[in-house]
Chain A
Amino acid sequence: MDLDLPLIWALLIAAAVFLYVVLDGFDLGLGILFPTARSATERDVMMNSVAPVWDGNETWLVLGGGGLYAVFPLAYAILMPALYAPIFAMLFGLVFRGVVFEFRFKSSEQRRWIWDIAFFLGSLTAALAQGVILGAIVQGIAVEGRAYAGGWLDWLTPFSVMTGVAVVIGYALLGATWLVWKCEGPMQDHFRGLALTLMFAMLAMIGIVSLWTPALDPAIAARWFEMPQILYTAPVPLMVLGLAVVLFRSLNGTRDALPFLASLALFLVTFAGLGISLYPNIVPPTITIWEAAAPDSSLAFLLAGAAVLIPMILAYSAYAYWIFRGKVRPGEGYH
């Protein structure tokens, strides 16, 4: 039996990127929501709710980048120069966001505001840049031979700015619903209210992306609006609506974990919708996953390890979350 290794790897990389988006999504979302916290104690609780796990969450981004280099080197070699500025903006944002976890508690109380601002701006920049990168990929990349052929500002369009804003809002929703899960009392009520607002903003952005993306490319439009493909793609918008109802009701009720889980599911469905629009291209609109793939010997060598190691990673990552389960209370942390 011949395995379609490029396809398997495309699914694995997509899974890694998805895990990164939702896991670091709520970390970055917290940072985006940092200015809405009403006291220093609330900010401490926010940070401590992710401090033990953020590093593991961010590692999925390293797997996304490293995996792309390993299995789709051509895509990596074209996308990185094409997305030069937003990639570096993301990296700088992540540098600031990441060090704040340690620096904030080491600085004196009087100077802590500097790190609060760094955490907010770092998270916001990283989220915005990731959204812009997404938009820039979806709208297409100019390629000539085996190299990027566009200018160094091609990524900047109204569409990519819009997707940037969409991702910021989406991450903020994940962050707010995470806090609903991990906090209690007035702080939980505060973020429950914010999450409701963010939910409507997120649904509006999903609507705009869903109409704008097909307008970019008739081939994408055909997948979503023409028979018979519509029979396969119609469940996506229907699931978005269903999840919106679940999210709305859970935010108005007293459930703690459900809003976060419903937000995750909402991300999963929209991510799948994105996959439907782009498949089988990895560098739209010209390069497919099979054209960009490394030889099968490379893909098989890494797949053998991934088959053993990824289940282990999922197991011990889940274990780490399990250890730090439950509500976060003020004053916890090792600092």
Chain B
Amino acid sequence: MEFSAVDLARFQFAFTVSFHIIFPSFTIGLASFLMVLEGLWLASGRDVYLRLFKYWMKIFAVAFGMGVVSGIVMTYQFGTNWSVFSDKTGPVLGPLMGYEVLSAFFLEAGFLGIMLFGLTRVGPRLHFAATCMVAFGTALSGFWILSVNSWMQTPAGFSINEVGQFVPENWFEIVFNPSFPYRFVHMMLAAYLTTAFVVGAVGAWHLLKDRSSDAARVMFSMAMWMAALVTPLQIVAGDMHGLNTLEHQPAKIAAMEGHFEGEEGAPLILFGVPDMEAGETRYQVAIPKLGSLILTHSLDGRVPGLNDFPPEDRPNATIVFFSFRVMVGIGFAMLGIGLLSLYLRAKGRLYDTPLFHKLALAMGPTGFIAVLAGWITTEVGRQPFTVYGLLRTSDSISPVDAPAVATSLLVFIVVYFIVFGIGTFYMLRSMAAPPDSGDADLGGEPTRAAGVTPAFAYRDKTTPSPAE
């Protein structure tokens, strides 16, 4: 089978952006978690918060480094593989990315060094300020890049000039385009939940090994509060995001739902296999009327079907249908964990139920899967356009030959699997190390007894502290 340059460039973008999104989803949440931990440490003076801060900071540093290097690739890939898109959208989207670099990337990078290396140099209060700046920077970065992505989904505030470029007319409408507020909230909550479930799994792992570990208890408890409180919010946010998509990108909704025929009182298809060739969803398991109820909040509301749209404008329902279900399924599993944690907490058994800890451990990576599934849904659902309804993906490509794209794609696959595979291994190894010693990720070294290292005198491992 021959792949065209467009197919290869799309696959390359999907591959590099999928790898990239894993790290920001984690670092946005982890930066806020670190900020909370350090704030709690400063407010309470409890040593366990500082130990947890240092423990997670080392993991954060690795994740952040991988986010940075995989992100730089994205900055240039727009131009190398999607030059026509770049030329046409640059006047509108470029300044938003410019703001992301100026207001967010520099902030994160500038204060990251102080956060990682500066505690003994600047003192705890200034250090906390640096941690806050890093956390704020990661969130601000999310703000701008989601505005960019949302504009590609629901373009607004622009006109088209004589050479075919999108040019700005109203910056407020561009930045706060119709789908942006929903997508932003949905993604930020996703980042927090993803992190919470990783932290919860690590806490659970260490509770399974040592039920008395105070650090494991604290992180597990914090993560389960997040699961219980944020998951319901996320489900509401997701529903509102879906309604917004129905209004602005009905073909995407039709693909997500597996509806080929638009109808009133449409069923909710729980399972099926959408067949794009035949124009129908086979092997359906459906609940009558529920589709209309969810999407229009009325039993007889009309929901769109893919056949309402010309064949050349339809997204691939086979992919979107399943990716959407993976995301939603994980969301409800997370809700189940959150509710169960409330029940166990009320019974006073949160730290004494190994079966629940095993469950939480198994849920550890699911946030990442849900994030990827969600992005696949929204991005594949935007096809066959890069700027929805206005610029086709096939018209966005660079004048680069397929062999060049194929070569770079192959190198990406090899390099990313090696580099990010090793990085993930190091992160997992750090997570496996017990959180109660001062030197969290150096398993072979003698560990300090928990709690004896005075917080303010805490120094690098090579410097003996008075308590030893």
Listed in ascending order, the chain A residues whose CB lies under 8 Å from chain B are 51-53, 55-56, 58-59, 61-63, 65-74, 76-81, 83-85, 87-88, 91-92, 94-96, 98-99, 101-103, 106-107, 146-149, 152, 294-295, 297-298, 301-302, 305-306, 309-310, 313, 316-317, 320, 323-324, 331-335
Bound-state Cα–Cα, A20 to B105, Å: 14
Q: Is the CB of B90 within 8 A of A69?
A: yes
The one of A147, A316, A334 that contacts B111, using a Cβ cutoff of 8 Å: A316
- In the docked arrangement, what's the CA distance between A317 and B69, Å? 20
> Given A88-B411, A313-B106, 10 other A-B contacts at CB below 8 A?
A52-B114, A56-B109, A65-B76, A76-B86, A77-B87, A83-B80, A94-B69, A94-B72, A149-B399, A297-B169
Tell me the bound Cα distance from A138 to B60 in angstroms.
Answer: 41
Return the 10 tightest CB-CB contacts between A and B, nearest first.
A73-B90, A70-B94, A80-B79, A52-B113, A77-B87, A294-B91, A77-B83, A98-B69, A302-B95, A55-B109
Contacts of A65 in B (CB 8 A): 72, 75-76, 79
Residues of B within 8 A of A335 (CB): 58
Q: Which residues of A contact B171 (CB under 8 A)?
A: 301
- Residues on B with beta carbons closer than 8 Å to the beta carbon of A298: 90-92, 94-95, 167-168
Interface centre among B66, B68, B94, B422 (most CB of A within 10 A): B94
Given the complex of chains A and B, what is the CA–CA distance between A307 and B113 in angstroms? 25
Instruction: Say whether B404 faces chain A, with CB atoms less than 8 Å apart.
Output: yes
> A146-B163, A152-B404, A301-B171 in contact; A313/B110 too (CB < 8 A)?
yes
Q: Answer whether residue B14 sits at the interface, using C-beta atoms and an 8 A cutoff.
A: no
Minimum CB–CB distance from A306 to chain B (whole Å) comes to: 6
Distance from B167 Cβ to chain A, minimum over Cβ atoms (Å): 5
Give the residues in chain A near B86, CB-CB below 8 Å. 69, 73, 76-77, 80
Which residues of chain B from 378 to 411 have any CB-CB distance to chain A below 8 Å in the complex?
398-401, 404, 408, 411
Is residue B243 contacting chain A, with contact meaning CB distance below 8 A? no
Contact of B97 among A70, A96, A297, A331 (CB under 8 A): A70
Q: Taking the nearest CB of chain B, how far is it from the CB of A147, in angstroms?
A: 5
The 8 Å CB contact of A302, one of B98, B117, B118, is B98
B106–A59 CB distance below 8 A: yes
Q: A53-B113, A69-B97, A70-B94 are known contacts. Are A62 and B105 too (CB-CB below 8 A)?
A: yes
| B121: interface (CB < 8 Å) | yes
**Cβ contact within 8 Å between A95 and B419:** yes
A331 x B69 contact (CB < 8 A) = no
Question: Are the C-beta atoms of B76 and A80 separated by less than 8 Å?
Answer: yes
A136, B168: Cα distance in complex, Å: 32
A106, B441: Cα distance in complex, Å: 8
Residues of B near A149 (CB, < 8 A) are 399
Q: How far is the CA of A96 from the CA of B429 in the complex (A)?
A: 20
- The answer to whether the Cβ of B65 comes within 8 Å of any Cβ in the partner chain is yes
> At the interface, yes or no: B154 with Cβ under 8 Å from chain A?
no
B83-A80 in contact (CB<8A): yes
A295 near B101: Cβ-Cβ < 8 Å:
no
**B401 engages A152 (CB within 8 Å):** yes
B112 CB-CB contact with A under 8 Å: yes
Interface centre among B61, B84, B90, B404 (most CB of A within 10 A): B90
B100 at interface (Cβ–Cβ under 8 A)? yes
By beta carbon, the residue of chain A nearest B97 is A66
Interface Cβ pair total, 8 Å cutoff: 245
A84 and B80 form a contact (CB under 8 A): yes
Chain B positions 131-156 with a Cβ under 8 Å from a chain A Cβ: none
Which residue in A67, A78, A83, A295 is a CB contact (below 8 Å) of B98? A67
Residues of A within 8 A of B116 (CB): 51-52, 334
Closest to A298 in B: B91
- B419: chain A residues within 8 A (beta carbon): 95-96, 99
The number of chain B residues touching the other chain, given as a range, is 35 or more
A147-B84, A302-B99 in contact; A79/B117 too (CB < 8 A)? no
For B287, what are the chain A residues with a Cβ–Cβ distance below 8 Å? none
- Asked whether B426 is an interface residue with its Cβ less than 8 Å from the other chain, the reply is yes
Note all chain A residues with C-beta closer than 8 A to B354: none
- Chain B's closest residue to A71 (CB) is B94
CB-nearest residue of chain B to A56: B109
By the criterion CB–CB under 8 Å, are B114 and A301 in contact?
A: no
CB neighbours of A295 from chain B (8 A): 91, 161, 167-168
Does B423 sit within 8 A of A, measured CB to CB?
yes
CA distance A306 to B103 in the complex (A): 9
- Which B residues lie within 8 Å of A294 (CB)? 90-91, 94-95, 165, 167
How long is the Cα–Cα vector from A55 to B422 in the complex, in angstroms?
20
Minimum C-beta distance from B78 to chain A (A): 6
Q: Residues of A contacting B73 with CB < 8 Å?
A: 91, 95
Confirm or deny: B460 has a beta carbon within 8 angstroms of a beta carbon on chain A. yes
Other-chain contact of A147, B76, B90, B399, B430 (Cβ < 8 Å): B399
Q: Does B276 contact A (CB under 8 A)?
A: no
A70, B98: Cβ atoms under 8 Å? yes
Cα distance A313–B98 in the bound complex, in angstroms: 14
Q: How far is the CA of A92 from the CA of B70 in the complex (A)?
A: 10
Q: Is the CB of B113 within 8 A of A320?
A: yes
Encode contact with A along B317-350: 1 for CB under 8 Å, 0 otherwise: 0000000000000000000000000000000000
Given contacts A67-B98, A323-B122, contact A84 B103 (CB under 8 A): no
Q: Which of A78, A91, A94, A152 has the largest number of chain B CB atoms within 10 A?
A: A91
Q: List 21 A-B contacts (CB under 8 A).
A: A51-B113, A52-B117, A58-B68, A62-B72, A62-B101, A66-B100, A68-B79, A69-B78, A73-B90, A80-B76, A92-B415, A98-B68, A99-B69, A102-B65, A103-B62, A146-B87, A298-B92, A302-B94, A302-B98, A309-B103, A334-B58
Question: Which of A62, A67, A68, A317 lies at the interface centre, i.e. has the most chain B CB atoms within 10 A of its CB?
Answer: A62
Does the CB pair A70–B76 fall under 8 Å? no
Q: Does B44 contact A (CB under 8 A)?
A: no
A195 to chain B, nearest CB (A): 25
| Interchain CA distance A51-B101 in the complex, whole Å | 20
What is the CA–CA distance of A62 and B92 in the complex, to the nearest angstrom? 18
Q: Which residues of A contact B66 (CB under 8 A)?
A: 99
Closest to B444 in A: A108
Contacts known (A87-B76, A297-B168); A69 close to B110, Cβ less than 8 A:
no
Q: How far is the CB of A291 from chain B (nearest CB, A)?
A: 11
Task: Compute how far the CA of A323 lies from the CA of B117 in the bound complex, rounded to whole angstroms.
Answer: 10
| Bound form: Cα–Cα A335–B106 in Å | 23
Contact between B121 and A323, CB atoms less than 8 A apart: yes
- B168–A320 touching, CB < 8 Å: no
Proximity bits, B408-445, A CB within 8 Å = 1, else 0: 10010001000100110010011000000000010000
Q: Of residues 120 to 134 in B, which have CB atoms within 8 Å of A's CB atoms?
A: 121-122
